[in-house]
Structure 1
Amino acid sequence: MARPARAANPAPPRPQVITSSDRASVAIGLGVILAALPLKMLVMGWSYMWLTIPLVALLSMASLVVRRLRLGSLMTLIVQIILMTAFLLAVAQSLKTEGGIFSGWWGLYEQASEHIMSQASPMEPNAGVTLLFTTFMGVIAILTDVMVQTIQRPAWSLLPLAMVWVIPTFTLRNETPFWTVAAMFGGYLVILLADGVNVTAWWPRGVRRRDTDRTNGALALRSALIAVPALVLAMVGGMALPVLMNGEWTRDKPKGADGPLTMSDPSLDLRRNLNQPEDREVIRYSTEAEDGVYLRMTSLPAFDGTGWHSSGVQLRDMPLDPPPGVTSVDYDTINTQIQVTEFGSEYLPAPYAPQELQVDGEWKYDPDSLMVMATGDNRTEATRDLEYSVSSLDVQPDGQGLSQAQTGNPPDARYTVPIPEDLPPELFELSQQLTSDQPTPALKAAAIQSYLRSDEFTYSTEPQPGTGYDALQNFLFTDKKGYCEQFAGSMAVLARLAGIPSRVAVGFLPGEKQGDDHVVSIRDYHAWPELYFEGYGWVRFEPTPSVGVAPSWTVVGQGSEEGNGQGETPEPTQEGSPSPTPTPTPSEKPDAPLPGPVDPPESPAWVQTLVFIGLVVGVVAGLALFVSIPFLIRRRRRLHRLATTGDMDQRVEGAWAEVRDSVLDAGENWPTGSPRVIGKLVGERLDTQSARAMEVLSLIVERQRYARSNSVNADLAAIAQDVRRGLLHDQDLSTKFAANWWPRSLWLGLFGRKS
């Protein structure tokens, strides 16, 4: 039936085609996708984006739909989490190679962890890393949605978006391409613009616009003109600020022709190159040194709880300085011709200690480490297809003199001497146990090297568990398995605990002799410790077994009487001589390993599929039950109020309360005044039949409250239901759904705001 004319009331506004929530949901999706682009710095290819884009789009669509249905922010979060979990499970099921649904899913994350530990960025594509990056961006999308729409702080969305950019920037420690910054701020700007449009669309609602009022688009453009310069200014200011290196604020970043340079992490390059699926030639050289030379690239002098790092580098123009600390002996000069092929790096491979270079390009050096570093354009690829010659000092100390030398004070002592305060005490004890019987620093170092080269330790390039101190303790006390980085780092730590300045050098082994040349492959990438002795400067040691040969000046000869108290020191023999240096007695091992738990047999594929389907059905059923709780509570309350038995006064008031809650559920406000006034005001919103029912109920309530005697013969339940039907008759689908499944009266009642 047609409604009565209501000339006094304005026509209801037309429903919005695009709501503020719709606009925000779409902007969040676009912003998060743009913010995901900087992760490209960590991995080769865009495989993670092909999964990130559909996941973020799914989460944005879920937010749009659930908020359209007015189901609330909590329900939006729950639906997003469930959808993301289901999406990731489906992706993991397609990516995994073995294991059940959940074990395969978790196994991919473990695979990602191992791959990241063993690879340098940009990493080779990996299924586990792809799943990990996709999961990370899904979490970022949900956090951004919460900040923008749940707590309504769009400006705070910069925090999760910037987190995506910060991770590769601080992990790689090299130059950050401008496009990554632009992508992150571009995503943030999209969200701010959407919020600006929403605010300007809401503000003048119900107020007549003047011809001079700005449109939403103009105001959004005006906001952009303010936001963009502010963001650019913040970026420029950030580049001008000092950086935090090894716990100290400093501006001592390496400087090139165009300003400060950021160095790549050679430790990550070491892991990646040693785990290449195929070995290949990367360097070919000829040298006057009979047995070839170690091609040193850089050194890591600073040590803390996360490992060994570059620090304190100050680049200077050529020519190079003499090697620091060398005063006791004169070394011969050797010439080396080097040709680099398929190997790109900003560090120049050269024998230690380089003195003269003939090389094309822009290069500078650090006087403390004699590291030679590219400073021109495309410097991370500066060595690729490069030919050059190096004149260097043949640093080979005499064992007799070295064994009597004391530790000195190197120029970079601020990095190569300190011991972290939180270093595990077990490392102090091991260093003391290995060196307490040795009378001089060189013999202490030889004892540490001999222990690490013993049969107790095994060389392996497989990733080992733990990081930082945990990995160091695992290598020295538990697995005793690792590659050159663990051996070199461990010796440098133990030597520093024995009072010897130490650092870790990174470069290449001498390679294989082929005719007049030496050929170096990618798997010859290597790390070794350098220890500082007075008069001899930085001296190379080699604790890694099965790969490098211990230098002659680091091996104690047979028949010597170490620590005899006569002031005599043993004279080293040639390389490879066995050492009588006392080493700790290894703990006794059981005759046979104890049997471990037997893994249960793998379930058939159809059983796993049924389990997965059952899990999905259970999750959906649980979600449906959770969503139904408000509906069930509201329905139970309605049945109680409209019961046909009980005291008449309570029945009348119950019907009146039910109508009041129905008005609230329909998104309207309950008027104030007497029952007759309320009945008239509510009836104006209803069709003829429902308006008549509302009028009858208001009169019944009035008589029941104020008449001395009154008999009610009307069907109160039918009247209340008729009013509720009229309230929802011409409402849109989302309002009807919310009135039944997410009733407004129920939530207002929790906060005492029904009246």
Structure 2
Amino acid sequence: MKIPSLRRPQWRHVAAELFLVLAVGGGSLAYGGVLRGWSWLYPVLVVLIATVAGTLLARAFRWHPVAVGLAGMAAWTAGMDSMFFRSSSLLGLIPTAGTLGAAREALDQAWHTVAYDAVPAAPNVGIVALTAGAIGLIALVTETIALSCRMPAVSGVAVLAVLVVPAVLKPESVGATGFAAAAAGYLGLLATAGSAYASGSAAERLAAALSPGRFAVLVATVVAGALVLPQVIPGFDAGTFPEGSRLQSLGQNVGLNPLISLGNDLRSSNAVGVLTYATDSTAPVYLRTVTVEDFNGAAWGPENHDDQLQRPITQIVNSAAGTGPTTATTTVVTTGGFTSPYLPAPYAPQSLDGVRGDFGWDPADLSVKGAPASSQNQLYVVHSTMPQLTPQALSAAVTAPRGIDLVAAQVPKGVPANVRTAAEQVTQGAATPYARALKIQAWLRTFQYSEKTPVEDGYDGTGMDVLSTFLTKKSGYCIHFAAAMAVMARVVGIPSRIAVGFAPGHPTGQTVAVPASKSLPEFQVDGKDAHAWPELYFQGLGWVPFEPTPTRGVLPTYAFTDTAGPGGSSNLDNLNDGLRAAPNKGGATPAPSAPAPAPSGAREAAPWIPAVLVALGLLALAVVVALPAALRAAQRRRRLRRGLRGIWEELEAVGVDHGLPPGPADTPRSYARRLSAWDADGGGLHRALDTLTTAYERHEFGRPGYEADEEAARHAVAVVHEAGRRTQHPVRRARIAALPPSSFAWLTRARTRMAPAAEAAGARMRAALRRVLHRLRRPKD
């Protein structure tokens, strides 16, 4: 490929490139809320503008489209180096071997952020570099599709890719600003990309591009698509884009960090079943996945203890267990579509049997963890023990805690003044840790439960600033109540942590048969049962759960402070009705009313989910297979509408498809004679080729003003195409129809054009190498 020397630049693509920056850069504004603050926006825009500037300069000097893409890639690399890898790059712009190592470290940091941080995530170097690099590459792909391939409408798919991440992760979806900017940029790109190749002055091209008719059609198409697509595509929430755009997964997805989607699950308009469990416990069962102990920093999440995991999970040792009497329970868990590296289990598990895959248990909190998404479609039995907790035993636990992680006892840095003051005032006069815990829980249960107020008032998430605002607003959901009680407990000397998992759920009316045991009543846990609660440590008893969230979960019998008393349920949605059933005189657990016949095991996930996934995979494969043929059909239609010159180009494309491409020395008449070798119907092909060739020669080489019969010319091309098909074997005919060679002719042309430049570069390199070897061999004086 020969890259032309510098010539007078032409800036006819400036408008399209500026609209491209608006579409992609404006869409990236929607990442506010996915990443915390706005410090990440500057490097993202620098990489984006550098990438587009590289392609714009290459187009201004009329480089080949392949060279334009390479120029954009080089500019993208320079932008990434200048922003993130300057110390390991040559002159701060050119990558070196050290740059690759730095990039690998940044990707590792980004992966850890995705896996273990909550939304909005901290804008560290890794995640910002990943975001900036992805935005820059999306801009390059958009530019290539819109200008090099001249398909600006299709480039909207790349612009949409920018909006997918915030649409899925943010409760408020993309937001009006990001969507409006991306839509405006895309409409402008549609209007100006095609006119960049038109003739006339810049003002004339812009006027033609922004004609009222074209603008009206574009706006009508976008509005219609925004209204219709969410109604016909499965998986969208109710409403129009962007507010109704947050995709719901096939089965709830809690993800790698349960804190990420806790609020989203609670705010979900439909309670989709996540998992089921059956238990012989006479008390409500909370299924716990993981805990959070470190309350320092701006956002909280589970710590990465992968290097401390122990195996096997069939023998779990609880080093923080109490010394008093315990109660053993058996629970059968079916995870279904629950997606997480953590396995939900009642606390404190002693063993898990029947788990598929490589899992280990964390000695710090007894959570069971495997690979990402390894929790799906698991069926296992959990044997767990819990100390027999009574108010008397908790009141007697006054010994200083020992034998636990020091992080759980340390007061975190930067506790706001109102949090510390509230903890001291609320617990004033309480003589024991248990009495202080009850007073904190009772005070928090006077607050208002709300899943929307934190989002509307901008304090949704975790961290000390969020906690301070929550105590001021006195309204939030479980994560805020649990965090407030955990931090306030540490302020008054009680070790604490936050447990994340699921509230007890509701009975299904069915039972599950367990070998060598009786049938156990089954319960279902929905997305709205996603929950967080505090666990406080009492010496001699271990970690004790409390329930400070009003109207959610179930108050433990040892921690009743509400006037409703032990017999009432604290869940206003009646999700936990029937969980307080007491044991009968024989000690057996009463089954739910009207139980269905016991199945042989826990129910499996919905059988239609694999079928849908297979269907989507087959559909994607069909689209990929049909793409070359669809591209060839579009090329044919476009050529046949361009008059005799386009019709002749279609004739040459037919020849390429069927193995007779035109040669560089072919005249129209000589090429027609070569194609006439396909004639097998006694002269029909000869007549069609003669008609088309005569019309084309008169149009190209005759007097101006010749009016050809274009319909007859198109018919002649159809005759040639059918004659070429008849000469092919059926298998080759099918291959030509699926993968027409003319659709990929531009690759051959690009290779041909690049060959002289590659050969010249190789010759220069060989000559330079010979000179170096000659100097090395020359004897020294």
TM-score computed with the length of structure 1 as normaliser:
0.45
